[in-house]
Amino acid sequence: MAGIYIHIPFCKQACVYCNFHFSTNMKLKGVLLDALLEEITLKSNYLNGALIQTIYFGGGTPSLLTDFEIRQILDRIAKHHPIDPGVEITFESNPDDLHPAYLKELYEIGINRLSIGIQSFIPEDMTYMHRAHTPSQSIEAVLYSQDAGFGNISVDLIYGVPHSTIQTWQKNLAKVFELKVQHLSCYALTIEPRTALAHKIKMNLAPAPDDEETISQLNHLMDLSPQYGFEQYEISNYSLHGFRSRHNSSYWHGDHYLGLGPSAHSYDGNSRHWNVANNATYIQNIREGRPYFEQETLNDSMRYNEYIMTSIRTKEGISFQKIQEQFKPHFVGLIPRWLEQGFISEKSAFYSLTRMGVFIADKISADLFI
């Protein structure tokens, strides 16, 4: 069991908060995709013939690809890897790219899960974040997707945007639930270093998020989502029954995956690879047969910390049995104080975050690290 991630490093315009690797210069798109196809061949043995159960197009903006380009990528993957007949193929997209004809092509290609980066239905939020689409385009994108036959649709929202209120956040959630999507990913607006937003805030050109308002909006989300049948199965992810993201869940469960494209990461259980985060260098090095990725071998402490960091974010939590079988039970001596303070609960030898613990998950996981 394994997954494949494909990073498409192009965007029409830069969102002020984004720190992912991307370029708004489309001139290299054709030659970069040629290099990506070559990388699929070069790394054909990385997963040792494991059955591919998930494929994920991320970015950047995968919806800038044509149907022909998507088919090329999927055909090359199928040439080198066994594909599960029930494979989940997720395709990240921006609402303004999802027109009926394009959606029909995606559906016919075999894309069976859409992730739509709406972020907000509030015009003021969109302006602040420098998003390219409008609220009406977001609504149309979901409706067009449903009309095209997609029955597994995820929507991304961002909460804690400055000037937003609990009332505007309620409007965002009401619209999502009204559209009857199957999955919701919600992220707090964070100020990442070396982003346009960080610079604007530093220069007093834009307001910073309000922590209390951000917490209030997350609390409202956790209160409201169960009323519509949504399970919070990971800190930032909510789904109807049977619609968890299988690809992202595989990361949290420690499954192996191959990452393709600039800045993509790969994991085979023993080591981690990460590709160069520069489009021109990625293209040139693959063309010339030179190294285009770095690698580190993971020791027990690194694998343990990785497990703690990812599993503690999930509904199921940390497995005491897995810790005993695979690692030294280092954290057992630290867990009681988090239990006593009500930030962690224990059930059937699993340790998971309580509602209070969700708000300090990073602090708890760091405390449990070796």
User: Over its length of 370 residues, how does the chain's per-residue pLDDT go in tens digits?
Assistant: 899 999 999 999 888 888 788 888 999 999 999 999 999 999 999 999 999 999 999 999 999 999 999 999 999 999 999 999 999 999 999 999 999 999 999 999 999 999 999 999 999 999 999 998 999 999 999 999 999 999 999 999 999 999 999 999 999 999 999 999 999 999 999 998 988 888 899 899 989 999 999 999 999 999 999 999 999 999 999 999 999 999 999 999 999 999 999 999 999 999 999 999 999 999 999 999 999 999 999 998 899 899 999 999 999 999 988 888 888 766 667 788 899 999 999 999 899 999 999 999 999 999 988 8
- The structural architecture, per CATH, of the domain 2-251 is Alpha-Beta Barrel (3.20)
Q: Where in the chain is the domain with CATH 3.20.20.70?
A: 2-251
Distance CA 96, CA 26 (A): 17
Identify the CA nearest to 356 among candidates 338, 368, 369: 338
User: Whole-prediction pTM value?
Assistant: 0.96
